[in-house]
């Protein structure tokens, strides 16, 4: 499978929602969905890297699949709010590179 740009990912989610999903859920419903999906990532992380064990007879979900669920909901929220994630990501990385240029190098905890 070829690499996908953020813009292509946003377009793919939009196409899926408009054809299979019929329409976008409300912004608040998508926010609730995002929180649910992040909780599922937390469960996998805690059971894989933390102290919690998986109960016998329960399926262990794959981290990649759960992260993809989070990403898909983020893309949907970006679409319905008119957010260009490519532009936002590039601006955010520039902000971090400028603001945090020396921050981590000067952190004695690292």
Give the percent of the chain with pLDDT over 70.
95
CATH number of the domain within which 49 lies: 1.10.287.1080
Count of structural domains, the chain:
1
- 22 lies in some domain: yes
How much is the average pLDDT of 93-109? 88
Q: Which residue carries 């894989």 as its tokens? A: 48
Does 66 fall in a domain? yes
* Residue 50, in any domain of the structure: yes
Looking at residue 24, its pLDDT comes to 97
b/e for 11-36, b at 16 or more Cβ within 10 A?
eebbeebeeeeeebbeeeebeebbee
- pLDDT of 1 above 80: no
- Reported as a single tens digit per residue, the pLDDT across 14-66 is 999 999 998 999 999 999 999 999 999 999 999 999 998 887 766 677 999 99
pLDDT in tens, 69-83: 999 999 999 999 999
Print the domain residue range for 74.
Answer: 6-99
Interatomic CA distance for residues 47 and 21, integer angstroms:
31
**What pLDDT was estimated at residue 92?**
96
Structural domain contains residue 108: no
Q: How many CA atoms lie within 13 A of 78 on its CB side?
A: 22
Q: Is residue 57 part of a domain?
A: yes
> Residue 70 falls within a domain, yes or no?
yes
| pTM, rounded to two decimals | 0.86
């Amino acid at each position: 499978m070829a690499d996908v740009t953020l813009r292509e990912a946003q377009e793919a989610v939009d196409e899926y929602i408009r054809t299979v999903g019929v329409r976008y859920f409300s912004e608040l419903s998508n926010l609730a969905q995002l929180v649910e999906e992040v909780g599922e990532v937390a469960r996998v992380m805690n059971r894989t890297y933390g102290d919690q064990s998986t109960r016998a007879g329960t399926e262990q979900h794959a981290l990649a699949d759960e992260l993809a669920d989070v990403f898909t909901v983020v893309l949907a929220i970006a679409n319905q709010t008119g957010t260009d994630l490519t532009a936002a990501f590039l601006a955010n990385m520039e902000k971090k590179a400028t603001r945090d240029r020396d921050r981590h190098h000067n952190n004695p905890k690292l």
